[in-house]
Chain A
């Protein structure tokens, strides 16, 4: 039972354009969401997060949007750069002392010149 889904295994975007990565979740108890970026031969690195009390969080070129009614979040990267080419994982948790992360399967982003 995949509670966090990233239905696009891969995405290719031209440099300078917007990259939009999508994530859907099924557990309505999730209230904290994160995006991680992973390069080959490295561990995932934290990118940006959003709490369910917000619908948008922005950090430089990265913006995460949360639509609670649709149980959907998206990561926007504007403008995309070749160094953004990586696998992006969406993760979700419930706040509280025993919170653990549930990860999606990842989307491989390729930013082309």
Chain B
């Protein structure tokens, strides 16, 4: 079984709709992240959470919100989807060692906003 799972894997929606992407992990990590990938731009951080009570904005948080329901679950919401939010979305987890922080990624969700 995969350590980091994302649902759905693919989603097509219309402008203005509310969308939720879900992420679950069995790695027991405290830290969780949401990224988006666009062609030619690499991965950009949307939101991150270092524990259940901690939520932080990343570099491109506008238009997104998150919820950390439990240590193992971190969901990303698009309150009113727009076409330029069409992208690949990745969830990641990490276990801070006290010095370094290697992240482990889920398989991604391909979102298309028409």
User: Which residue numbers of A lie inside 8 Å of B, CB to CB?
Assistant: 4, 6, 9, 32, 34, 36, 41-46, 49, 51, 89, 93, 95, 97-101, 103-106
Residues of B32-74 whose CB lies within 8 A of A: 33, 35, 40-45, 48, 50, 58
Q: Which of A36, A43, A46, A103 has the most CB of B within 10 A?
A: A43
Q: How far is the CA of A101 from the CA of B103 in the complex (A)?
A: 8
B100 at the interface (CB under 8 A from A): yes
Q: How far is the CA of A65 from the CA of B96 in the complex (A)?
A: 23
Q: A99-B96, A104-B42, A105-B41 are in contact. Are A43 and B107 (CB under 8 A)?
A: yes
- How far, in Å, is A15 (CB) from chain B's closest CB? 27
Please, which residues of chain A bring their CB within 8 A of the CB of B105? 36, 43-45
Contact B100 A32 (CB under 8 A): yes
Number of interface residues of B (CB under 8 A): 25
Q: A44-B90, A95-B99, A97-B96 are in contact. Are A89 and B43 (CB under 8 A)?
A: yes
Determine which of B40, B58, B90 lies in contact with A43 in the assembled complex, contact meaning CB atoms within 8 Å: B90
Q: What's the dominant secondary structure at chain B's contact region?
A: strand
Q: Mark B71-104, 1 if CB is under 8 A from A, else 0.
A: 0000000000000000000101000100111111
User: Which residue numbers of B lie inside 8 Å of A, CB to CB?
Assistant: 4, 33, 35, 40-45, 48, 50, 58, 90, 92, 96, 99-108
Please, which residues of chain A bring their CB within 8 A of the CB of B4? 43
Determine which of A41, A46, A105 lies in contact with B104 in the assembled complex, contact meaning CB atoms within 8 Å: A46
Q: What's the dominant secondary structure at chain A's contact region?
A: loop
Contact A46 B42 (CB under 8 A): no
- How far, in Å, is B4 (CB) from chain A's closest CB? 7
Contact A89 B101 (CB under 8 A): no
Contact B100 A49 (CB under 8 A): yes
Q: A44-B105, A46-B104, A105-B40 are in contact. Are A100 and B90 (CB under 8 A)?
A: no
- How far, in Å, is A39 (CB) from chain B's closest CB? 10
- How far, in Å, is B96 (CB) from chain A's closest CB? 7
Sample of 19 further A-B pairs with CB below 8 A, known A46-B102, A49-B102, A95-B99: A4-B42, A32-B99, A32-B101, A43-B4, A43-B105, A43-B107, A44-B90, A46-B103, A93-B100, A97-B50, A97-B96, A98-B50, A99-B101, A100-B58, A100-B101, A103-B35, A103-B43, A105-B40, A106-B42
